[in-house]
Amino acid sequence: MRSIINNYIGGQFRPASSDRTAPLHNPATEEQIGTVRLSNTDDVDAAVAAAKAVWPSFAATPQDERIAMLRRLSSALADSEPELIAAMRAEYGAPIHFTTFSVRHAGSVFLDMARTVADYPWRQSIGRAQVEMRPLGVAAAITPWNSSIGFICAKLAAAVAAGSPIVIKPSELSAIQTEVLAQALHKAGLPAGVLNIVNGDGAVAGAALAAHPDVAKVSFTGSTATGRAILRAGAQTMKRVTLELGGKGAQIILDDADLDRVAGMVLANGFMNSGQACIAGTRILVSRRRQEDFEQKLVAALGAFPVGPATDPDAGIGPMVNRRQWDRVQSYIALGQAEGARVLAGGAGRPEGMERGWFVSPTLFTDVHHDMRIAREEIFGPVLCIIAYEDDAEAIRIANDTTYGLQNYVFGGDEDRNRRVAQQLESGRIAVNGAAHEPMAPFGGFKQSGIGREFGAYGLTAFLEPRVVLS
Ligand code: NAD
């Protein structure tokens, strides 16, 4: 049993002052493996004060020094890769391909940000005005559990690049990963107060940080409901806010797509991170003429996504993060059946032969109407909806008929047609025919999937203010 009591404030590991704790579990065994002490508002105040104290000197740090810090942060992550992966496997339970990708990606965001700083237009003239991009003050980050290390590192990278000290409140469900990460990042030797990490829950520590008068900017990743609360809390002091929220991505399979090639990719997009991904493509839109054929190919491709614990090297889909999330996913499976959708594969309960662990049977619903709640609400588990359409126009209309707009997908045999369809989709990103992630491109959502963008120059700009001097 691991007992996590420390926050990381002003360059030191310090016990949280509250005695409230939350349990930590291994989701593959349901065993309790630790506890985390939940900070109170005094701890949040201490972290913000440490950040505020270093703010004037950090804001004046030359660009080369900030680039060097970003490089040291990346090396620190690389040096702790085995420990980070082990923590993620024990506490989150994700399959090995995801944990390895996730930790390496977290290290690479610092290097991407270092490149961004080097190429960024920090100063420009507009007529007689000199415009200079300035850091905007103490930043705060509030992050979720589904890729905790990656989200923390992305937000820290942008803050260091900008010259803003940051206070981070990670998810209380990821405290073991947070502790191992904090120990790794400490070795990068940032000036004291530039990075502060406070363990705690949303209702106390998160809310205090989101409303803190000395915080100038909040970068949040999490649910749309919490995003609304953070926006409201920030309004009092006009905080700059970046919100990366939920999604209900569509995968449009055009009728000229190579179904054999596409089926596996479509499942991979739907089941990514065991279905606990904001960018998952959870609505599969297929031409009615090819529906039956495609359904058979999807069912056949399911064999490539075995469910299992992180200790199983062949596992493609891991457990849900906790009991609550498992119950939530199960309730949506029951709801889909009650709404009249047909279970093509999977269904309620654990996969056959599994007695313990918060594992879900990868579930495909078909004959789904886009008005059903399973097609409109974010389930956040390996549960996908197949929706038939008549023509491209209807596919586009269904894809856009959602309050979300984070990431959509298009598969088809004709490049011009694929692009025409992509250009009509209302989302921050559209991936065509399995195109790879571009780390320097802006990431974020249209509509209720968020406000603002992360990564690359757009992500850096979100941590800056333009100051104009007229002379
Ligand atoms: P959540 O909103 O419940 O929690 C996220 C974080 O906010 C946690 O650290 C939590 O403690 C904190 N929090 C909760 N209430 C708060 C409050 N009132 N004030 C301040 N902080 C508060 O989300 P979750 O369940 O941890 O994560 C899953 C959600 O995150 C899903 O909806 C998913 O789509 C979304 N997500 C979005 C992205 C993206 O980039 N768009 C990426 C991953 C996850």
Given 244, 295, 378, 454, which residue is catalytic? 244
User: Residue 347 has what pLDDT?
Assistant: 98
Q: What's the whole-number average pLDDT of the chain?
A: 98
Active site residue 438: no
**Which residue's alpha carbon is at the smallest distance from atom 42 of ligand 1?**
278
Percent of the chain with pLDDT over 70: 100
User: Residue 12 has what pLDDT?
Assistant: 98
- Which residues, other chains included, contact 289 with Cβ-Cβ below 8 Å and sequence gap of 6+? 255
* pLDDT band of 285, cuts 50, 70, 90: very high
Binding-site residues, ligand 1, Cβ < 6 A: 142-146, 169, 171-172, 201-202, 206-207, 210, 221-223, 226, 229-230, 244-247, 278, 378, 380, 406, 445, 450
pLDDT digit string, tens, across residues 77-132: 999 999 999 999 999 999 999 999 999 999 999 999 999 999 999 999 999 999 99
387 φ/ψ sector (left φ>0, alpha ψ -120 to 50, else beta)? beta
Angle, nearest 10°, between helix axes 148-162 and 63-79? 160
User: Residue 348 has what pLDDT?
Assistant: 98
**Which residue's alpha carbon is at the smallest distance from atom 9 of ligand 1?**
171
CA-wise closest residue to 440 among 132, 166, 118, 137: 118
**Which residue's alpha carbon is at the smallest distance from atom 8 of ligand 1?**
171
Q: What are phi and psi of 260, to 5 degrees?
A: -60, -40
User: Ligand 1 centre and the CA of 202: distance in Å?
Assistant: 9
- Choose one of 20, 147, 215, 226 to mutate for the ligand 1 pocket test, by most ligand atoms within 8 angstroms of C-beta: 226
pLDDT digit string, tens, across residues 158-168: 999 999 999 99
pLDDT digit string, tens, across residues 351-387: 999 999 999 999 999 999 999 999 999 999 999 999 9
Contact predicate 317/306, CB 8 Å? yes
User: Residue 437 has what pLDDT?
Assistant: 92
pLDDT digit string, tens, across residues 259-276: 999 999 999 999 999 999
Instruction: Give the start-end residues of each E strand in 18-84.
Output: 21-25, 32-37
Active site residue 278: yes
Residue with token string 């039956």:
292
Q: Over range 415-424, report the average pLDDT.
A: 98
* pLDDT band of 220, cuts 50, 70, 90: very high
User: Ligand 1 centre and the CA of 244: distance in Å?
Assistant: 9
**Which residue's alpha carbon is at the smallest distance from atom 32 of ligand 1?**
223
